[in-house]
Amino acid sequence: MSNSKILMDTEAVESLVDIMAGKIWTLLNEREISNPLMIGIRTGGVWLAEMLHRELGLEESLGTLDISFYRDDFTRIGMNPEVHPSDLPIPVDDRHIILIDDVLHTGRTIRAALNEIFDYGRPASIILATLVDRSGRELPIQPDIIALHPELEQDQHITLIGPDPLGLVIGSKTNRNSRGDEQGKDA
Amino acid sequence: MSHSNRTLQLDKERRLLHFLTIDGLGKEILTEILDTSEGFTGVSERTIKKVPLCRGKVVANLFFENSTRTRTTFELAAKRLSADVLNLNIGASAASKGETLLDTLHNLEAMHVDMFIVRHASSGAAHFIAQHADRGVGVINAGDGRHAHPTQAMLDMFTIRRHKGEFVGLRVAIVGDILHSRVARSQILALNTLGVSEVRVVAPRTLLPSDARSLGVHVYHDMEEGVRDVDVIIMLRLQKERMQGTLLPSEHEYFSLFGLTERRLALADSEAIVMHPGPINRGVEMDSMVADGAHSVILQQVSYGIAIRMAVISMVIGTQNLHMQEIAG
């Protein structure tokens, strides 16, 4: 990663997470949703989801998704060598879901995550909450909740690093190697 | 041999191009196969037991030798990756084998098959096909002669890792017909590559290769001594046809000398697991009480076999795709 600099430190990220939690709380009340299932997308989305899950005091255990098997660029970059199992603790059928990701960029990660969730069952609804919403969308996917909307040049990238300490890093685009080590960051 | 196996199976960035034998593959790639399989284990428990990874790909099960279980798990693995599967049971024909094999191969390639999964009675058949296959076509060895059965070995490694966590410090005993067993050969290579402390083979002298010790194993002819304090016992299937020759006296006598009974199992570590590649000859390799007992993980091996095969199929198809992209520029 070249020319990277810290945009936000742990404390700043935590206050963004507080903002997300407040907005999620309000939206759940508006829609009269109780007992939602929160799902974090690996890797950054899981770190955030763990914090939000605690802060909101949700009853159902946290779910995690690894979307490696649903990526649309498998034929171009091959298998992600660091894939983890997805883990949804309860059936998603008729369940209200809060999907958490760190950076929403092209929308392709969310497309993959939605497809994966539907292979587990038919949820009642899905709310998408992301820490950062940046420009560069390639699919018609919009978040319900965002905490930060930075103005970025096309060749700039923004990445959540962590889990300890958490931070938001901004820099010019890295060269992806062919093993896809930057997978999941082109959200 | 190790070097040529490595260059045929791995590309310059050490990605899997074909999966033919454990020989020549390092700890890193074997661990990558195990880790990738871990990701696939949950797929069988979902409402939709499929992921879209290999959608639009055609996988041909090329079985020159019968094997219901192996063929079925490969078929299920490919289908869970959303690939289309062709099942071809081709009895070994009397015609010149090389020519027949190549003709079959080229005919299937004309149908744009992306992968061959090969089971053959002759050692080296899968290598031969990998060497002659079109660019972009991956080959997986599903058992060739007495040579190798690498996916069986990897599902056994996966089962061991799931139960024991790590390989370092483990003592593993492989019991039975080592001489004719491609499974044992692949297991020994995998166990040593992954760094277990001790691999033992337990067998009568007639069912051991003369150079057994050169495989990196400790040799035992006494079952009680062989399984004492081990963490893992792998029982091999005794091929019935071996009984007809002079290699073995009788099933009854084999069981009395090398069969796994509860009494013998009690000599192993108290947390020991018992494995078998299946199908079991009850009362020949092991007592039913052991096969169905608390230490047995035999049915889990079958389930894990699907995850391992999904991992290997997707890794090979992924690498072959990449290479075709690079050629296309």
The domain limits of chain A are 10-71+87-149
Give the residue from B32, B10, B11 showing the smallest Cα distance to B21: B10
Burial letters for B92-125: b for 16+ Cβ neighbours within 10 Å, e otherwise? eeeeebeeebeebbeebbeeebbbbbbbbebebb
Give me the residue from B32, B47, B48 closest to A81, CB to CB. Answer: B32
- pLDDT for B243 equals 64
Pairwise CB contact (< 8 Å): B15 & A118: no
Q: How many domains, in total, are found in chain B?
A: 2
The total of other beta-carbon atoms located within 10 Å of residue B62's CB is 28
Same domain, B165 and B114: no
pLDDT at A176: 45
What confidence score (pLDDT) does residue A151 get? Answer: 86
Instruction: Indicate if B279 and B321 belong to the same structural domain.
Output: no
Name every chain A residue with its beta carbon within 8 A of the beta carbon of B42. Answer: 85-87
| B71 and B101 belong to one structural domain | yes
What is the rounded CA–CA span in Å between residue B72 and residue B129?
21
Show residues of chain B in contact with A83, CB under 8 Å: 35-36, 38-39
Q: What's the confidence (pLDDT) of residue B248? A: 75
Give me the domain span that covers residue B182: 150-302
pLDDT tens digits for B186-235?
A: 999 999 999 999 999 999 998 999 888 888 999 999 999 999 999 999 99
Minimal CA–CA distance to B199: which of B230, B158, B235, B223? B230
Q: Which residues of chain B have pLDDT under 70?
A: 1, 91-99, 241-246
Using the Cβ of B209 and the Cβ atoms of chain A, whether some distance falls under 8 Å is answered with: no
Domain shared by B268 and B163, yes or no: yes
User: Do B177 and B215 belong to one domain?
Assistant: yes
Is the domain covering A10-71+87-149 a CATH 3.40.50.2020 domain?
yes
- Same-domain status, B237 and B132: no
Is B35 in contact with A70 (Cβ distance < 8 A)?
no
One domain for residues B221 and B116: no
| Residue of B277, B303, B266, B71 whose CA lies nearest to B176 | B277
Q: Coil, strand or helix: which one is B260?
A: strand
CB B80 within 8 A of CB B43: yes
Q: Please give the pLDDT value at position B94.
A: 39
Integer distance in angstroms from the first to the last C-alpha of chain A?
A: 17
Note whether B295 and B310 are same-domain residues: no
Identify the sign of the CA torsion A42, A44, A50, A52.
negative
Q: Any chain A CB within 8 A of the CB of B187?
A: no
Whether residue B296 sits in one domain with residue B158: yes
* pLDDT on residue A178: 41
B86, β-bridge pairs: B60
pLDDT at position A180 is: 39
Cα end-to-end span (Å), chain B: 33
The reported pLDDT for the residue numbered B271 is 97
Report yes or no: A114 at the B interface, CB cutoff 8 Å: no
**Is there a single domain that holds both residue B123 and residue B252?**
no
CB of B11 within 8 Å of a chain A CB? The answer is no
B312: closest CA of chain A, how far (Å): 10
Q: How far apart are CA B2 and CA A100, in angstroms?
A: 47
| Interface residue B315 vs chain A (CB under 8 A) | yes
Predicted pLDDT of residue B239? 78
pTM for this predicted structure: 0.89
Interface check for A86 against chain B (CB to CB < 8 A): the answer is yes
Q: Are residues B293 and B317 in the same domain?
A: no
For chain B, give the mean pLDDT: 91
User: What would the two tokens of residue B13 be?
Assistant: 């960035």
**Interface test with chain A among B314, B315, B324, by most A beta carbons within 10 Å:** B314
Query: Does B39 contact chain A (CB < 8 Å)?
Result: yes
| In a shared domain, residues B161 and B221 | yes
CB nearest to B36's CB, from A77, A79, A87: A79
Q: What is the mean pLDDT of each run of 10 residues along chain A (187 residues)?
A: 80 96 97 96 96 96 95 83 89 96 96 95 97 94 96 89 92 56 43
Q: Report the CATH number at residue B78.
A: 3.40.50.1370
